[in-house]
Structure 1
């Protein structure tokens, strides 16, 4: 009897042990499945959260084809199905496929604003025809003013950013460069609040005064870059930065001081050359007259030069400053900012001396539309009203002034062409951004 009891007890213990192992194995498998499921759900949630970030619409004033005026004599709009709202509190509605609105239109009888939306996109006929008149997303608000009609595009942030990317850095840039431009453009527009457009509840216009918008139709990659960076902006000490950017560097960027006394420490001079051994401030002539090896060395504007006569210079100085220096005898670069940018010059003339400080004013004063700007690739540009940049060195000979320069744009913040080259080297958009903007956080704008 005792032997039978011991046998039964042994069987029970062994069975319990085996079952326990199997149960533990089942529990481990269940935990693995739950963990995998949780991981999948977590990833899915992140993607859904990213796609569901709410971004407000923006309102953009649309300038004429020259980019010089916000006023228009008439506006012709076409769409698959246009809904036109007018009258007091937009209580009246009309439907058309095409409409031309002028200053004397009856649509303005009881309200100086007309709203136009479409079933799909809006086409502004006769506008930006050289680029195929890209269509507009969103809706138009058309204001009747004494000087003409003002047209404002109310558009989603996503669609706005895509159409800035295509117009600013171009549709053919690598995807990481497009994302870089997307974060810059979003940060810039969210930090924009111009007084002159508040009456239209607008935050910018579509010109280079802010950032170029919808001059080129966005392609799939531009749309993808806008979507995959949804909500992402740059902060410095928990404040949105001024995300300045420009076309091409001379091998260096400059710092915040070109914008005034406000200390934007995230805008620092950036060296984009390959082990340049020249002291840029003291030996800028050697630097700018040489095609120093740099990431943008093959860009046409990386190096350029222009010759201006004394007569041309006299006229351009007067045009830029409103003061006549007389015959120009000498030009002196008094000081340079970081990266070698000319920050103050003195024009010595037979009538007076004129001091010019701002980089934009320097570029205007030293450029004649009749002079030829010879670029790095041996091509020539004519008719420019300002020098490509203020990274310059000046020599006088044979009664003329020869200006050697590099880069295109103000030179502060991100160089778009450098961003393109970095993306080609395999760098991601966050790494590229942090090259040009120091100590910034790239995060969602909550």
Structure 2
């Protein structure tokens, strides 16, 4: 591959969109700029009073022109969800999906990465941390673009057993994005255009790692990352499709990589979660955390170890709304299977009306939070059990933030602060991988 690939990023899907062309853009044979709006009607896009199947706005000068999308939703399904205006380089492509307008930003991969590592991290993070993130973001993106339709496995559900004992296992993996490569939110990787202020250090990180990717056995690595592993890395197959990657295997997030307990055992996982063991990501250093956590991320104070409490009424209502199943009163939340980091990938909900095992980790996190629980590495305490065996309160004590697979962003920030270079950071999290220059 000699040329820089282009990437198509889905930004938003709404009945109507408002945007501003900051500079001259070509649309068909016309030159346009300034405030614009488009609506969806009968499966068509209405712009300037004319119906279109799709529209593309291409900048005359890609180096200086940009476009601003109004009221973009960020943090979809997460606790920091909000709307903001966002500005982007490259072309704007409008199509119709599911009766709404989808906005797609088309631009070179390296330009895309300038925004991603400023959105996923702070633009003021250390150079080695930004270089490491540039390589994993580039690797993950190109691995997704290269995936065939047969390998997407974006959501899988199955139900087995009797009517009273069901198993419902599902996972999400970059949805079936037929018309673009990746989305712009945490579901894929955060991409917020040039809205997140970049710095000369971000540009230096991109230039220093230009075209570099992680590879294993001749293939691009599916280079996952999350905020905080909680002390031990999780395996890919416990979060997504049942596929094993030799470079995504359990390791302690510390200098002593092989010193980790068997967290698939319930007693061991409980001891681990209730303690605060040494790990790179076990830090409260505000300077280090500010490199990883953007403004809204910093609203989350406790992530290495955390606690959530629900009354019986709260948890019964929450699970009913979030899963769509009426369990009645909740008798218990029972661990069924844990992964290498202690994350549950199967959990049994024992209710008054229904008992069902759910998974994988994100389905569990969705079921037990108005947005998404910090992670599925938790133990359950039941308090105030009545004569019928129903607790009056549930306390979840947990570890980590996110799925825990691949690079731990907070751990990587600590490694950088301790003097590790970006290659050492990457090979700590992606076992026996190599760093190759693709273009």
TM bracket (short chain): 0.7 to 0.9
Give the distance between the partners of 1:131 and 1:121, measured in 2 at CA. 23
Give the distance between the partners of 2:345 and 2:24, measured in 1 at CA. 51
Structure 1 stretch displaced more, 258-267 or 225-234:
258-267
Q: Per-residue displacement from partner, 1:37-61 (whole Å, max 9, x unpaired)? A: xxxxxxxxxxxxxxx9631221111
Q: Tell me the CA shift for residue 72 of structure 1.
A: 4.5
Q: Tell me the CA shift for residue 95 of structure 1.
A: 3.5
Q: Per-residue displacement from partner, 1:55-77 (whole Å, max 9, x unpaired)? A: 122111112xxxxxx23403221
| Structure 1 residue matching 2:281: 3-state secondary structure | coil
- CA distance change for structure 1 residues 174 and 349 in 2, over 3 Å: closer, same or farther? same
Q: Per-residue displacement from partner, 1:243-263 (whole Å, max 9, x unpaired)? A: 110011211111122123212
Query: In structure 1, what is the equivalent of residue 66 of structure 2?
Result: 122
Query: In structure 2, what is the equivalent of residue 71 of structure 1?
Result: 14
* Contact map agreement 1:247 1:415 (CA 8 A) in 2: yes
Q: State which of 275, 278, 292 in structure 1 corresponds to 2:277.
A: 292
Q: State which of 24, 30, 34 in structure 2 corresponds to 1:82.
A: 24
Give the distance between the partners of 1:139 and 1:296, measured in 2 at CA. 38
| Structure 2 residue matching 1:249: 3-state secondary structure | coil
Q: Which runs of 5+ in 2 are unaligned?
A: 41-45, 74-81, 150-175, 285-301, 385-391
Query: In structure 1, what is the equivalent of residue 417 of structure 2?
Result: 424
Residue 93 (structure 1) aligned with residue 30 (structure 2): yes
Residue 358 (structure 1) aligned with residue 360 (structure 2): yes
- CA distance change for structure 1 residues 416 and 155 in 2, over 3 Å: closer, same or farther? same
* Contact map agreement 1:134 1:217 (CA 8 A) in 2: no
Give the distance between the partners of 2:342 and 2:243, measured in 1 at CA. 20
Give the distance between the partners of 1:157 and 1:319, measured in 2 at CA. 39
Give the distance between the partners of 1:325 and 1:406, measured in 2 at CA. 27
Residue 283 (structure 1) aligned with residue 268 (structure 2): yes
- CA distance change for structure 1 residues 131 and 443 in 2, over 3 Å: closer, same or farther? farther
Alignment of 1:11-410 (within 5 A): 54-63=3-12, 70-79=13-22, 81-85=23-27, 90=28, 92-103=29-40, 104-106=46-48, 108-109=50-51, 112-119=54-61, 120-127=64-71, 133-144=85-96, 147-193=99-145, 196-198=176-178, 200=179, 202-214=180-192, 216-258=196-238, 259-273=240-254, 280=263, 281=265, 282-299=267-284, 300-367=302-369, 369=370, 385-398=371-384, 399-410=392-403
Structure 1 stretch displaced more, 349-358 or 291-300:
291-300
Give the distance between the partners of 1:267 and 1:277, measured in 2 at CA. 15
Give the distance between the partners of 1:105 and 1:133, measured in 2 at CA. 20
| Structure 1 residue matching 2:177: 3-state secondary structure | helix
Q: Tell me the CA shift for residue 111 of structure 1.
A: 5.5
TM-score, structure 1 normalization: 0.76
How many residues align? The count is 365
TM-score, structure 2 normalization: 0.77
Q: Give the structure with the larger strand fraction.
A: 2
**Higher CA-based Rg:** 1
